[in-house]
Amino acid sequence: MTKILANDGLAQPGIDALTSKGFKVVTEKVNQENLINAINSENYEVLLVRSATKVRKDLIDSCPQLKIIGRGGVGMDNIDVDYAKKKGIHVINTAEASSNSVAELVFAHLFSMVRFLFDSNRKMPLSGDSEFKSLKKSYAKGKELKGKTLGIIGFGRIGEEVVKKAIGLGMKVNVYDKYIKEKKVILKFFNDEEKVFKIKTEQLECVLKESDFITLHIPKTSNTAFINAEEIGLMKTGAGIINTSRGGLVDETALMFALDKQKIAYAGLDVFDNEPTPSIHICMHNAISLTPHIGAATLEAQSKIGTELADQITNIYNK
Ligand code: NAD
């Protein structure tokens, strides 16, 4: 029986789909330092990971019976993909499964930011009973999202979902993508009606200058940040920045400086430098809405990830 180690877990529908096809799925976590030994001694042919487990050259070289490395999710920065492929290993991921969940989290941060929920949820438990009136006053200048301009950097799968939701809320969208000039976006409604929008992308400078909020949906391909002090300098005073893509795309020092100077009013972060030990200054900043990398952490996304991985693995074994 072919054995699969899902080292960062796998949702039950994925386990069920694989088990029904005759695979044995083990979800007991093996520490990184014991992983090579475990794969060899248990004769695993498939290694499934999310973002925690690293699959580097040493592991690939030391585990010659590995046939498939699977990433439940999108980013493959924890896997030496090209090296694995060169060694004849199939490397698969689930590109689509989490797009809607990440896009919804963007709006969770946006709503949290414009109505100060992130701050209110910190302060109400401490002083809601004694300082009610002053807290109420400090959150009096909320804003509506309707009519505001959302700048979307990256018009791929998640960027497109964000565009749809922004349009649904009555926002203007201003999109930048290095490689895409125009895209047809189809909004589908509950009653099967559809509305097609042709969205042309803009220059980065224009998106930065004209947007009330900027949200990033691009991969991290270098060690330099995409949003630095210079890009922040171009943005509107009082704008917001959201990063649910990858830590390091926004320079955290430049962001905190801009927040302290009130050039940027607030930020929403799901991803951080040095995960899983982000900067305490970022975590304690009173103008940042924070989540611990939970973009794809919904029952729906995890279920889609599980079944997509199961389909791809069965296809490879049936070839
Ligand atoms: P995608 O590949 O579908 O889209 C990325 C888009 O960025 C593409 O359209 C591409 O043309 C564009 N792009 C690439 N480099 C660019 C650059 N330098 N400047 C401008 N545009 C550029 O990817 P996706 O599925 O939309 O995912 C986007 C990001 O979200 C990835 O970094 C992924 O790791 C991250 N992500 C995070 C979570 C989470 O849990 N927070 C979950 C899933 C994905």
Using pLDDT thresholds of 50, 70 and 90, give the confidence band for residue 202.
very high
Cα–Cα distance between 148 and 159 in angstroms, integer?
17
Kindly tell me if the per-residue pLDDT of 15 is higher than 90: yes
Higher pLDDT, 166 or 319: 166
Question: Is position 293 annotated as part of the catalytic site?
Answer: yes
Which residue, judged by its Cα, is nearest atom 36 of ligand 1? 245
Spatial CA neighbour of 207 closest among 196, 218, 219: 218
Residue 308 C-alpha to ligand 1 middle, in angstroms?
19
Residue 319 C-alpha to ligand 1 middle, in angstroms?
30
Of 45, 104, 131, 275, the catalytic one is 275
Q: Is 90 in the pocket of ligand 1 (CB under 6 A)?
A: no
> What pLDDT, on a 0 to 100 scale, did the predictor assign at position 319?
80
**For 50, phi and psi rounded to 5 degrees?**
-105, -120
> What pLDDT, on a 0 to 100 scale, did the predictor assign at position 171?
98
> What pLDDT, on a 0 to 100 scale, did the predictor assign at position 13?
86
Q: Is 73 in the pocket of ligand 1 (CB under 6 A)?
A: yes
Cα–Cα distance between 142 and 48 in angstroms, integer?
44
Question: Is position 217 annotated as part of the catalytic site?
Answer: no
DSSP secondary structure of 204-256: HHHHHHH-SEEEE-----SSS-SB-HHHHHHSPTTEEEEE-S-TTSB-HHHHH
109-135 residue pLDDT tens: 999 999 999 999 999 999 999 999 999
> Which ligand 1 atom sits closest to the C-alpha of 220?
32
Using pLDDT thresholds of 50, 70 and 90, give the confidence band for residue 17.
confident
Kindly tell me if the per-residue pLDDT of 290 is higher than 90: yes
Kindly tell me if the per-residue pLDDT of 274 is higher than 90: yes
- SS3 for 67? coil
- The lowest-confidence range among 98-102, 128-132, 303-307 is 303-307
Q: Is 296 in the pocket of ligand 1 (CB under 6 A)?
A: yes
Cα–Cα distance between 146 and 263 in angstroms, integer?
22
Q: Which two tokens stand for residue 129?
A: 């009973």
Rounded to the nearest integer, the mean pLDDT of the chain is 96
Supply the pTM of this predicted model.
0.91
Kindly tell me if the per-residue pLDDT of 19 is higher than 90: yes
66-94 residue pLDDT tens: 999 999 988 898 999 999 999 999 999 99
What mean pLDDT comes out for the span 280-288? 97
Residue 68 C-alpha to ligand 1 middle, in angstroms?
24
Kindly tell me if the per-residue pLDDT of 32 is higher than 90: yes
Q: Which of 50, 79, 102, 246 to mutate to test the pocket of ligand 1 (most atoms within 8 A of CB)?
A: 102
